């Protein structure tokens, strides 16, 4: 069997089992909903206002951006690591330049304090 | 016949992870009891207390999942119903599938067939593990958002930021392993570790990449959102984080996802750093000890030994993670982010650079 | 071939969710579905590395960023707006032209420059890496500058507010 076909079969098997597990208590469990039970939890008080409209700090957004950038950097490292022995010193220099430029980025982010969480 | 073997391998890989999670559930409860000097997890028993000892293993192996599956499934009125259902499903499927690419043995020779003991032998399996790990974020973020509760939302956002921050360290540690072994294939990496250094020590990854091992272990624990990295579900601050509004089997699926992630980290540590299914000095024909002493073994016995070795190693590293979880207190969020970005990330980069230079200087230093 | 049609179907469903669903969170998740299916298509086309990197970068990183932005702005489900008539016509014409171009380019025979038999290692991680690091060094190095600009830009924009 093709490796990818095996992977697909694996996806299907896991998907079915996971679906059964997720639905298990909907099938097996009791169902007697009450208005209080269906309220979202807020330390026992009636919930105030809606979550939609709540905002959160820009820090998280920055972390996501940094992640995207450095993830792309790491993505370039994989194929490089794979054929590193064929590339030799030239490959090392090539990657060193790339990393130095991004390392400057990390240093800048560090220096301006964008990694501080306060 | 070929198709039958393929399907059998898929089922075996899936059963390993399914049983491992159930076993870990018990180990976690009993282990935490041992660590905290309690008796713990000793209520349910299969034969009504007729057995002279009661470890409570029956308790969690069967009673816990069954109990959770029989609880009422509650979806809050204000929640987004479709996404509320989708989140646990999305959280666990990529993690389950990951085990399809983990090699659990060398080859099995049965009736003229030679079967490679990995369920889905795709060429870039290391990257597949990482890709699936990066998809695991969605369960957290969807679950947090769909519940429409403040606690869930905070937990979801925290969890996502934490997981993506530590994913970089995880990736970098794997890059240095790929540099050392020069392949993306987990099975090839496991095979390469069957060689010997100076004809004595097994050429396990841990001797080449100790720093990467530490990175992978820490980052992996952070990915699985467990103490000391359990801020997404910090119960003293935000109730239960992203699964505050979950109950019954959906809750159990989220908790199971944590255990599966522990299993994946253990499988990665085993395969990349501790020889995977390799038993020291055991080749395909039997033991070949350094002194020239050898024991010939039939192929089936060798395969069985390797399979058991894989399971033992897997279990040891799961246990280690549970031990860490019950020993260390939770980190503060700013410390957590600072640790990921200012310590692990630079360490990972330096390790990659150092590995590259060492590989070029002493190519004999690593296995080829 | 059957696999292709199934995958293509899912990809299209995801794409339609992205465009048509009024809740931006659903749109982002539809995008994940589409990107994942496109990755499967890459795998079917013998490009495993590309497929996995697609999942890692697009589905695993960029859409997470999208979701963060959606939540950061706490976007409400959008109201259905009636587009002004000229805009609607322009959009329709543009879509029709694009669709026509795609159909034509899909049905035309391949360019003569493309060899009918591909080399054995076509699309393999090794050949992709060799191409990237020997033939396309300059674009590769310039990527890092682009990423640097992205980082600095993000920091500057975020700092200006506080």
pLDDT at res. B270: 92
B168 to chain A: nearest residue by CA? A71
Chain C residues inside the 8 Å CB shell of B142: 29
* pLDDT, average across residues B71-81: 78
Residue B11 or residue B43, greater confidence: B11
Domain around B257: 74-365
Q: Which residues contact C104 (CB under 8 A, 6 or more apart)?
A: none
Is A107 an interface residue toward C (CB < 8 Å)? no
State the smallest CA–CA distance between residue C82 and chain A in angstroms: 25
Total number of domains in chain B: 1
Question: Would you state the pLDDT for residue B55?
Answer: 57
Q: Nearest CA to CA, how far is B185 from chain C (Å)? A: 11
Domain assignment present for residue B65? The answer is: no
The predicted structure's pLDDT at residue B266: 92
Q: Is B289 on the interface with A (CB under 8 A)?
A: no
For A113, which residue in chain C has the nearest alpha carbon?
A: C155
Tokens representing residue C121 in the block: 């290692």
CA distance C99 to chain A (A): 31
- Strands of B286-288's sheet, edge to edge? B282-283, B286-288, B294-296
* Confidence at residue B237, expressed as pLDDT on a 0 to 100 scale: 67
Question: What are the Cα distances from residue C76, in Å, to A53, B22, B142, B172, C22?
Answer: 8, 41, 16, 38, 9
First to last CA, chain C: 54
- For the stretch C15-61, pLDDT in tens is 888 877 777 888 888 888 888 888 888 888 778 888 888 888 888 88
Residues of A in contact with B363 (CB under 8 A): 85
> Do the Cβ atoms of B250 and B88 come closer than 8 Å?
yes
* Consecutive H or E run containing B351: helix B345-361
The whole-number pLDDT of residue B267 equals 92
Residue C110's φ and ψ, nearest 5 degrees, are: -60, 155
Sequential DSSP letters for B263-293: HHHHHHHHHHHS-TTPPTTEETTEEE-TTS-
Residue in this structure with the two tokens 């026509």, named with its chain if needed: C100
**3-state DSSP of B64-82:** HHHHHHCCCCCCCCCCCHH
**Candidates B71, B122, B127; nearest CB to A25:** B71
Contact A40 B74 (CB under 8 A): no
Distances (CA, A) of B342 to A62, A106, B338, C64, C145: 15, 9, 5, 22, 22
Out of B89, B172, B334, the one facing A74 most closely (by C-beta) is B172
Q: For residue B232, which of B262, B255, B204 has the smallest C-alpha distance? A: B255
CB atoms within 10 A of CB C72: 16
Structure-model confidence comparison of residues A86 and C76, the more confident one: A86
The alpha carbon of residue C52 is apart from the nearest alpha carbon of chain B, in Å, by: 6
Query: Residues of C at the B interface (Cβ-Cβ below 8 Å)?
Result: 25-26, 29, 32, 36, 48-49, 52-53, 55-56, 59-61, 64, 67-68, 71, 124-125
Whether the pLDDT of residue B83 is over 80: the answer is: yes
Which are the contacts of B216, defined by CB distance < 8 A and separation ≥ 6?
A: B170, B173, B174, B265, B268, B269, B272, B273
pLDDT per residue over B100-138, tens digit each?
Answer: 888 888 877 777 777 788 888 888 888 889 888 888 888
Please report, rounded to a whole number, the percentage of residues in chain B having pLDDT higher than 70.
Answer: 90
Closest residue of chain C to A66, computed from CA coordinates: C151
In a domain, B45, yes or no: no
Confidence of residue B147 (pLDDT cuts 50, 70, 90): confident
User: Cβ–Cβ of B2/A1 closer than 8 Å?
Assistant: yes
Question: Which residue ranges form the domains of chain A, and what is each CATH number?
Answer: 3-112 (1.20.58.1610)
- B touches which chains (3+ CB pairs under 8 A)? A, C
- Contact criterion met (CB below 8 Å) for B194 and B283: yes
Of C129, C132, C154, the CB nearest to A62: C154
Sequence-distant (6+) residues with CB within 8 A of B218 are: B166, B169, B344
Q: Identify the closest residue of chain B to C46 by CA–CA distance.
A: B123
In chain C, which residue's Cα lies nearest the Cα of B136? C60
Alpha-carbon span A92 to A85, nearest angstrom: 10
Name the DSSP letter for residue B339: I
Predicted confidence band of residue B312 (pLDDT cuts 50, 70, 90): very high
Q: Which residues of A touch B154 (CB under 8 A)?
A: 56
pLDDT digits (tens, 9 = 90+) for B164-180: 888 888 999 999 898 88
* pLDDT of C161 strictly over 60: no
Q: Is B60 contained in some domain?
A: no
Question: Mean pLDDT over residues B289-301, rounded?
Answer: 79
Can you give the pLDDT at residue B78?
74
Structure tokens at B258: 């944590």
CA contacts within 13 A on the Cβ side of B283: 11
Q: What is the rounded CA–CA span in Å between residue A77 and residue C57?
A: 13
Torsion of CA B270, B273, B275, B280, to 10 degrees: -110
| Strand (E) or helix (H) holding B350 | helix B345-361
Q: Nearest-CA residue of chain C relative to A59?
A: C158
A62: chain C residues, CB-CB within 8 Å:
154-155, 158
Task: Write the DSSP string, C65-99.
Answer: HHHHHHHHTTPPPPPP-PPPHHHHHHHHHHHHHHH
- Under the banding of pLDDT at 50, 70 and 90, the label for residue B368 is very low
Identify the helix (H) or strand (E) that includes residue B144.
Answer: helix B137-146
Residue C151: pLDDT over 70 = yes
Band the pLDDT of B269: cuts 50, 70, 90.
Answer: very high
Say if B69 falls within a structural domain.
no
- Using a CB–CB cutoff of 8 Å, tell me whether A28 touches chain C: no
pLDDT of residue B165: 85
Rounded Cα gap, residues B236 and B333, in angstroms? 13
- A80 neighbourhood in chain C, CB within 8 Å: 129, 133
Q: Cβ separation of B127 and C29 shorter than 8 Å? A: no
Averaged pLDDT, A85-114: 83
Report yes or no on B130 lying in a domain. Answer: yes
Give the lowest-confidence range in A78-82, B202-206, C73-77: C73-77
Q: Residue B56: its pLDDT value, please?
A: 58
Beta carbons of B83 and C25 less than 8 Å apart = yes
Nearest to A7 among B79, B92, B100 (CB): B100
Phi and psi at residue A38, to the nearest 5°: -85, 0
In a domain, B210, yes or no: yes
Please give the distance of CA B297 from its chain centroid, rounded to a whole number.
31
B109: its two tokens: 């020779």
- In the DSSP assignment, the letter for residue B100 is G
Report the C-alpha gap between C84 and C96 in whole angstroms. 18
Minimum Cα–Cα distance from C67: chain B residue = B141
B61 within domain boundaries: no
C138 has pLDDT over 80: yes
Q: Is B350 on the interface with A (CB under 8 A)?
A: no
Q: What whole-number distance in Å separates Cα of residue B157 and Cα of residue A59?
A: 11
Taking the CA atoms of C73, C76, C82 and C88 in sequence, report the sign of the dihedral they define.
positive
What is the spatial distance between Cα C148 and Cα A111, in angstroms, rounded to a whole number? 14
Backbone angles phi, psi at A106, to 5 degrees: -65, -40
Question: Do C64 and B133 contact (CB within 8 A), yes or no?
Answer: no
- Over residues C61-111, the pLDDT tens digits come to 888 888 888 877 766 666 666 667 778 888 888 888 888 888 887 776 655
Give alpha helix (H) positions in chain C: 2-20, 24-44, 48-54, 63-72, 85-107, 125-130, 137-161
Phi, psi of B294 (to 5 degrees): -140, 145
Q: Where are the beta strands (DSSP E) in chain B?
A: 107-110, 113-116, 196-197, 201-202, 282-283, 286-288, 294-296
Q: Are the C-beta atoms of residues B55 and B103 closer than 8 Å to each other?
A: no
* C-alpha span between B163 and B224 (Å, rounded): 8
**pLDDT score for A118:** 65
CA distance A33 to C23: 27
Residues of A in contact with C53 (CB under 8 A): 75, 78
- The alpha-carbon gap from C136 to the nearest alpha carbon of chain B, in Å, equals 21
Of the candidates B166, B184, B187, B225, the one whose C-alpha atom is nearest the C-alpha of residue B347 is: B166
> Under the phi-then-psi rule, with left for phi > 0, alpha for psi from -120 to 50, and beta for the rest, what region is A113?
left
Checking if the pLDDT of C120 tops 70, the result is no
CA–CA separation, B282 and B32 (whole Å)? 36
Are C64 and B137 a contacting pair at CB < 8 A?
yes
Q: Per the CB < 8 Å rule, is C68 touching A67?
A: no
Residue B34 resides in a domain: no
Q: Which of A52 and B141 is assigned the larger pLDDT?
A: B141
Q: Is residue C143 scored above 60 in pLDDT?
A: yes
Closest-CA distance, B287 to chain C, in angstroms, reads 35
Q: Which residues of A touch B151 (CB under 8 A)?
A: 41-42
CB of A112 less than 8 A from some CB of C: yes
Task: Give the nearest partner residue to B168 out of A19, A21, A67, using CB atoms.
Answer: A67
Nearest by CB: C48 against B122, B157, B160: B122
Instruction: Provide CATH code, domain C1-78.
Output: 1.20.120.1200
Report residue C53 as tokens: 């990197």
Judge whether B74 is closer than 8 Å to chain A, CB to CB. Answer: yes
Mean pLDDT of chain B: 82
Q: Which residue has the higher pLDDT, B242 or B35?
A: B35
Among A100-104, B89-93, B143-147, C62-66, which is the least confidently predicted range?
B143-147
* Residue C81 pLDDT: 65
Q: What is the DSSP letter of B11?
A: H
pLDDT at A18: 87
The residue with tokens 């200012």 is B342
Report the complex ipTM. Answer: 0.83
């Amino acid at each position: 069997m093709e490796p990818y076909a095996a992977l697909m079969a694996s996806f299907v098997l896991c998907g079915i089992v996971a679906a059964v597990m997720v639905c298990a208590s909907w099938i097996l469990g009791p169902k007697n909903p009450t208005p209080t039970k269906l309220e979202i939890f807020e330390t026992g008080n009636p919930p105030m206002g809606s979550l939609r409209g709540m905002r959160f700090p820009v820090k998280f957004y920055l972390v996501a951006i940094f992640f995207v950038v450095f993830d792309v950097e790491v993505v370039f490292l994989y194929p490089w690591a794979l054929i590193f022995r064929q590339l030799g010193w030239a490959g090392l220099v090539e990657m060193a330049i790339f990393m130095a430029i991004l390392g400057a980025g990390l240093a800048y982010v560090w220096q301006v304090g964008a990694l501080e969480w306060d | 016949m070929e198709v039958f073997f393929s399907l059998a391998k898929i089922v075996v890989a899936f059963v390993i992870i399914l049983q491992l999670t159930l076993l870990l559930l018990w180990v976690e409860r009993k282990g935490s009891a041992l660590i905290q000097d309690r008796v713990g997890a000793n209520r349910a028993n299969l034969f009504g207390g007729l057995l002279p000892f009661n470890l409570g293993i029956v308790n969690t192996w069967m009673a816990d999942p069954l109990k959770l599956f029989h609880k009422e499934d509650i979806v809050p009125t204000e929640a987004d119903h479709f996404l509320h259902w989708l989140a646990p499903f999305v959280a666990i499927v990529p993690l389950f599938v990951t085990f399809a690419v983990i090699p659990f043995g060398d080859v099995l020779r049965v009736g003229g067939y030679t079967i490679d003991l990995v369920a889905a032998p795709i060429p870039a399996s290391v990257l597949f593990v990482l890709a699936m790990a990066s998809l695991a974020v969605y369960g957290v973020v969807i679950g947090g958002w769909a519940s429409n509760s403040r606690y869930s939302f905070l937990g979801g956002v925290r969890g996502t930021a934490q997981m993506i921050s530590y994913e970089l360290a995880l990736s970098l540690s794997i890059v240095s392993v790929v540099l050392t072994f020069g392949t993306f294939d987990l099975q090839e990496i496991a095979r390469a570790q069957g060689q010997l250094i100076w004809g004595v020590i097994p050429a396990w990854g841990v001797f080449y990449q100790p720093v990467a091992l530490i990175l992978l272990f820490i980052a992996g624990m952070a990915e699985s959102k467990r103490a000391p990295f359990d801020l997404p579900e910090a119960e003293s601050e935000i109730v239960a984080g992203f699964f505050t509004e979950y109950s019954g089997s959906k809750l159990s699926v989220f908790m199971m996802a944590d255990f599966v992630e522990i299993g994946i980290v253990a499988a990665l540590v085993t395969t990349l750093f501790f020889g995977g299914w390799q038993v020291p000095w055991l080749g395909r024909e039997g033991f070949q000890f350094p002194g020239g002493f050898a024991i010939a073994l039939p192929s089936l016995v060798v395969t069985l030994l390797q399979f058991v070795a894989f399971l033992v190693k897997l279990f040891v590293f799961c246990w280690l993670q549970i031990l860490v979880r019950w020993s260390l207190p939770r980190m503060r969020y700013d410390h957590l982010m600072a640790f990921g970005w200012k310590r692990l990330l630079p360490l990972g980069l330096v390790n990659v650079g150092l590995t590259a230079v060492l590989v070029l200087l002493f190519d004999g230093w690593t296995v080829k | 071939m059957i696999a292709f049609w199934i995958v293509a179907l899912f990809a299209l469903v995801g794409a339609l969710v992205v465009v048509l669903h009024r809740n931006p969170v659903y749109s982002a998740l539809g995008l994940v579905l589409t990107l994942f299916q496109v990755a499967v298509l890459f795998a079917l086309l013998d490009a495993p590395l590309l497929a996995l990197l697609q999942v890692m970068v697009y589905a695993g990183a960029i859409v997470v960023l999208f979701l963060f932005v959606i939540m950061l702005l706490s976007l409400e489900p959008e109201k259905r707006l009636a587009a002004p008539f000229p805009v609607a016509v322009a959009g329709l014409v543009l879509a029709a032209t694009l669709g026509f171009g795609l159909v034509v380019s899909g049905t035309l025979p391949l360019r003569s420059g493309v060899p009918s038999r591909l080399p054995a290692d076509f699309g393999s991680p090794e050949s992709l890496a060799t191409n990237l690091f020997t033939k396309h060094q300059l674009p590769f190095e310039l990527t890092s500058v682009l990423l640097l600009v992205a980082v600095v830009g993000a920091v500057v924009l975020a700092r200006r507010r506080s």
